[in-house]
Amino acid sequence: MSITEQRPIISKLEKQELYRLLAEGKRVDGRGLLQYRNLNVQLNYIEKAEGSALVELGNTKILAAVKVGVALPFADTPNEGILIVNAELVPLASPVFEPGPPSEESISLARYVDRSIRESKAVDLSSLCIIPGRSVYSLYVDLYILDYDGNLIDASVIASVNALGTTKLPKYSVEGQSIKKLDEYFKLELKDLPVSITYAFFGDKYVVDPCLNEEYASDFTISMTVKSDDRFCAIQKNGGGMISPRGFLELLDKSIALGKELRSIAYSKLSGNG
């Protein structure tokens, strides 16, 4: 059983400074309220994995890798491949991460990323079937958080989608009820490029892409995943607090605009990757 971790304490002086700057429309690191940090994506970072990507969002650093296998499909979806997302909060990333069984935070992160990919239908799972009810491809997306400076969710979604975009699957030949691995590979087609936008709320003010201190000092955060067609496929709120219905609708509009901008930066390398 995991216990809910306590949020690290942020000092009153740092909190005062955050609020003081917010009132002036500024942020601690000099960004605008709706400005993302520098995003850097490196594709195919691990040679041995079928697909991988290293994403740096400011000082947050995440390595995503995809492992491909063949497995028995789930009984309720005999024609669909298997997609499993797992997030590992490595203790080297932050003093608040401890070794041991997965924490609530890592499970919640993995579930959100899973939802973003699954519900956006970015991966067409029905195309990953080899023999219905018998053999399907299984995709394991492993996220390793290497440096934690806030906003894991957005960086993780970008890292996983990039890693899936570089994934190459081995071809199998079907002989009756058995399969044989061939020495050929084909690229995994992505049907959508979802991006997640995270906001941190301070009273009635909010900022996008919170850094670590902003995340700790905020009342709550909201993450929204937008698909390429401007529809939403995942929304999650972390922490206690309220937002008015009007404010929420406003946020949806902002997410669509920000999503377009972020998508063009985050997945620019994928189109050039043969």
- Hey, which residues between 197 and 216 contact other proteins (CB under 8 A)? none
- Hey, which residues between 23 and 62 contact other proteins (CB under 8 A)? 24, 26, 30
Of the residues 1, 3, 13, 75, which one makes contact with other proteins according to CB under 8 A: 13
Distance (Å, whole) CA 25 – CA 42: 33
Shorter beta-carbon distance to other proteins: residue 13 or 75: 13
Of the residues 11, 40, 178, 268, which one makes contact with other proteins according to CB under 8 A: 11
Of the residues 21, 33, 34, 146, which one makes contact with other proteins according to CB under 8 A: 21
CB of 152 to other proteins, least distance (A): 21
* 101: exposed, middle or buried (Cβ count in 10 Å: 0-12, 13-18, 19+): exposed
* Binding of other proteins by 12 (CB under 8 A): yes
* Binding of other proteins by 20 (CB under 8 A): yes
Q: Which residue has the tokens 């991460």?
A: 97
CA atoms within 13 A on the CB side of 264: 5
Shorter beta-carbon distance to other proteins: residue 139 or 217: 217
Distance (Å, whole) CA 189 – CA 166: 9
Residues that contact other proteins, how many (by CB under 8 A) = 13
Distance (Å, whole) CA 199 – CA 213: 13
Beta bridge partners of 196: 225
Q: Choose one: 3-11, 49-57, 82-90, 244-252; the region binding other proteins (CB under 8 A).
A: 3-11
* Binding of other proteins by 14 (CB under 8 A): yes
Shorter beta-carbon distance to other proteins: residue 12 or 246: 12
Shorter beta-carbon distance to other proteins: residue 17 or 119: 17
Other C-beta atoms lying within 10 Å of the C-beta of residue 24 = 7
Cα separations in angstroms, 45 against 53, 78, 152: 5, 33, 19
Cα separations in angstroms, 107 against 76, 132, 147, 176: 23, 30, 18, 39
Of the residues 3, 9, 48, 75, which one makes contact with other proteins according to CB under 8 A: 9
Contact 162, 267 (CB under 8 A): yes
Residues of the shown chain interacting with other proteins in the complex, contacts defined by CB under 8 A: 9-15, 17, 20-21, 24, 26, 30
